[in-house]
Chains A and B, each alone.
Chain A
Amino acid sequence: MKPDDPNIAWLEAPRLGLADRMYLPLFFEGLTTTSRHLIGPKMTVSFPEERPAVGNPLIYRGVHRLNKDEQGRVKCVACFLCATACPAHCIDIIGTESPWPDREKYPESFVIDELRCIYCGMCEEACPVDAIELTSLLDLTGRSREEMIFDKEKLLSVYDQTKDAEPMKSKSLGGTV
């Protein structure tokens, strides 16, 4: 692009007044701003001692859980919609014939690779029976890759751990159940 390109709009910088040219008003403006922040409230959360406030747990996307129904059975019907929706291909389900009369299939194995997951929440949206949900647990750590692959028992235990703090979203959101 050349200087005489018609697409260039030349703007005149606003002319400085005497106060600006004296620099002192700007000097004090800068100094008061930094001084105000120096003694002002701090944004940092001291993490292990202090938990960050999760704004709205209903829409927070943390560790997954597998919900249970009133009889303590896994709600999942092994329809594979979540695994199909998952853009990271981190959900691995083995479905088998259900022992219960109210559904045809249930997951014999339900494995999520938490390291592979991108926490987009598509599985939660895809689930027709609100079986898979993302909780507001945010400090997910592990010492090995194997430890971070969550199987069905682990995902159900996440439900037991969080069910009191976070009731199933469908109830408050008017979901399918």
Chain B
Amino acid sequence: MIDLLEAIAKIALLLGGMMTAAAYFVLLERWMAAWVQDRRGPNRVGVPLTNIKLFGLGQPLADGAKMLLKEDFTPAHVDKRLFVVAPIVIMTAALAIFAVIPFGSVTPNVLPVEPGSQTTRPIELVIAPGIDVGMLYVFALSSIAVYGVILGGWSSNNKYSFLGGLRSSAQLIAYELPLGLGILGVVLASGSLDLGDIITHQALTGVWNAIGQPLGFVVFVVAAFAEAARLPFDLPECEQELIGGYHTEYGGMKLVLFLTAEFIHMITASFLIVILFLGGWHFWGITGTGEAGEAIGWGTAILRVVVLMVKILLVILFFMLVRWSWPRFRFDQLMAFAWKVMLPLGMVNLLAMAIVVEVERVYANQLGWLGRLLLVAASWCVLVGGWVVVALAQPVTADNRPRERVGIE
């Protein structure tokens, strides 16, 4: 009974938090867009019927109310069942991923082990704690999210939408490989698919995976941008080419579901980047190491949540800044980048990590801090080497001009 209540409370907390966060990240995104373009952004909507503006913090509520009150229009030419199902699928998959994603570490001992018992246990700050296949679960559900996009594009019975859905399926399949290869290095290093264990491993060694395997970090971050369909990889919904892509025909609440799911994808990607590569809730010297049997106080528990949230916010700010820094890829460049650059680099990283992990395991006793430093240096060399080889080979450059060039002086 207590377990059930605990789970329901965590689900409520996370769902509420996630929807609110998505709404406010829309505002943040608009602010960032405005600031980068030397504008001020939304700063008018505050407390209704007064002059209090609160820097526009009422904007998400106003947007939400507006979208709720809009007519839920279904065009006559669509496949009605799939049209309705698509946004539900994408939203459900986006939210369900958070079942295994930790949003903190643990609390001190507060809950009785059984009703009426004197001994207490801590609450783990993840909806489904101790799932050994956490990483696989995340992967499975992020693949289902593609379904929503494809169904939306297909059922819309509109060529632009369909093209957006097709692009999305091709892109997400292509970038799932480097995403997986990036994660494999982490899994090798920490020996677990449980996201909590991956954080604890980084906290115990004190070496975040971004430092220990930089090539994997780069590959994973690029692939995560592509998986979240953020610029410069937002080909499924590029406004200029596809007038919105797969959600062109949608409006009202269904459109809100699509857009919110997109933001939740970005939040998920940030969570995964932080948890897998940036140490999760760990920060040197202030958060403890999370070793087994370690008793922590409320201060440390809250500090860990704060550290995690700050890191995620920074990653999301980076996501939003990148949006205005680079132009979108062309589709052939996107595919060449996935198959000719990201995939080989991911494999190189996996190979290098396998060697590093094996060296660490065999020479675990003889390896001092100098030896570990050398291993980290070696993995950075792999990054630089792989990068230079890619730069020299220029696999993404495609010369599409006609072979016969008449008139060249």
Q: Which residues of A contact B (CB under 8 A)?
A: 3-4, 6, 8-10, 12, 16, 18, 21-24, 30-31, 33-35, 37-44, 46
- Which residues of A lie under 8 Å from residue B325 when comparing CB positions? 30-31, 33-34
Q: Which residues of B contact A22 (CB under 8 A)?
A: 387-388, 391
Contact partners of A39 in chain B: CB under 8 A: 35
Are A42 and B404 touching (Cβ within 8 A)? Answer: no
**Chain A to chain B contacts (Cβ below 8 Å), 24 pairs:** A3-B402, A4-B404, A6-B406, A9-B407, A18-B391, A21-B394, A22-B388, A22-B391, A23-B391, A30-B325, A31-B321, A31-B322, A31-B325, A34-B321, A34-B325, A37-B35, A37-B36, A37-B38, A38-B36, A41-B38, A42-B38, A43-B38, A43-B39, A46-B43
User: A10 and B408 in contact (CB under 8 A), knowing A30-B326, A34-B325?
Assistant: yes
Selected contact of B39 from candidates A8, A16, A23, A44, CB within 8 Å: A44
User: Could you tell me the distance in whole angstroms from the C-beta of A9 to the nearest C-beta in chain B?
Assistant: 7
Interchain CA distance A16-B397 in the complex, whole Å: 11
B404:A38 contact, CB within 8 angstroms: no
Q: Does B392 contact A (CB under 8 A)?
A: yes
Shortest distance between the CB of B138 and any CB in chain A (Å)? 28
- In angstroms, Cα B40 to Cα A44, docked, is 6
Per the 8 Å Cβ criterion, residues 360-409 of B in contact with A are 387-388, 391-392, 394, 401-402, 404-408
Question: Is there an interface contact between A21 and B392, defined as CB atoms closer than 8 Å?
Answer: yes
User: Pick the contact of A4 from B32, B37, B406 — CB < 8 Å?
Assistant: B406
Q: Please, which residue of chain A has its CB at the minimum distance from the CB of B327?
A: A30
**Residues of chain A lying within 8 A (CB to CB) of residue B326:** 30
What's the Cα separation between A42 and B31 when bound, in Å? 12
Interface residues of B in 1-54 (CB under 8 A from A): 32, 35-40, 43
- B39 (CB) vs chain A CBs: closest residue: A44
A41 to B35, CA, bound (A): 9
| B38: contacting residue among A16, A21, A30, A40, CB under 8 A | A40
Q: Does B324 contact A (CB under 8 A)?
A: yes
B406 near A42 (CB under 8 angstroms)? no
Given contacts A3-B406, A8-B407, A43-B39, contact A38 B321 (CB under 8 A): yes
Least Cβ–Cβ distance between B401 and chain A, in angstroms: 8
Residue among A9, A31, A35 with max Cβ neighbours from chain B (10 Å): A31
The 9 closest A-B CB pairs, nearest first, are A30-B325, A21-B391, A4-B406, A44-B40, A22-B391, A34-B325, A43-B38, A10-B408, A3-B402
CA distance A47 to B35 in the complex (A): 18
Partner of B407, one of A6, A35, A42: A6
Complex Cα–Cα for A4 and B405 (A): 8
Which interface residue of B36, B321, B322, B326 has the most chain A CB atoms within 10 A? B36
**Complex: how many Å from CA A33 to CA B38?**
12
Which of B37, B391, B394 lies in contact with A37, CB distance below 8 A? B37
Q: Are A42 and B321 in contact (CB under 8 A)?
A: no
Cross-chain contact B391 with A46 (CB below 8 angstroms): no
Q: Inside 8 A of A24's CB, which chain B residues have their CB?
A: 387
**Chain B residue contacts of A41, Cβ below 8 A:** 38
Cβ of A42 to closest chain B Cβ, rounded Å: 5
Residues of the B chain whose Cβ atoms lie less than 8 Å from the Cβ of A35: 321
Q: Bits for B314-356, please: 1 = Cβ < 8 Å to A, else 0.
A: 0000000110111000000000000000000000000000000
> Which residues from B are CB-within-8-Å of A18?
391-392
**What is the distance, in angstroms, from B315's C-beta to the closest C-beta of chain A?**
14
* Given A10-B407, A16-B394, 18 additional A-B pairs, CB 8 A: A4-B404, A4-B406, A8-B406, A9-B407, A12-B408, A18-B391, A22-B387, A22-B391, A24-B387, A34-B324, A37-B35, A37-B36, A38-B32, A38-B36, A38-B321, A43-B39, A44-B38, A44-B40
- Determine the residue in chain A with the shortest Cβ distance to B402: A3
CB pair A42–B40 under 8 Å, yes or no, is yes
B residues less than 8 Å from A40 (CB atoms):
38
Q: Are B391 and A3 in contact (CB under 8 A)?
A: no
CB neighbours of B40 from chain A (8 A): 42, 44, 46
Q: Which residues of A contact B391 (CB under 8 A)?
A: 18, 21-23
CB distance from A39 to the nearest CB of B (A): 8
Minimum C-beta distance from B262 to chain A (A): 21
Q: Given the complex, which residues of A lie within 8 Å of B39, measured CB to CB?
A: 42-44
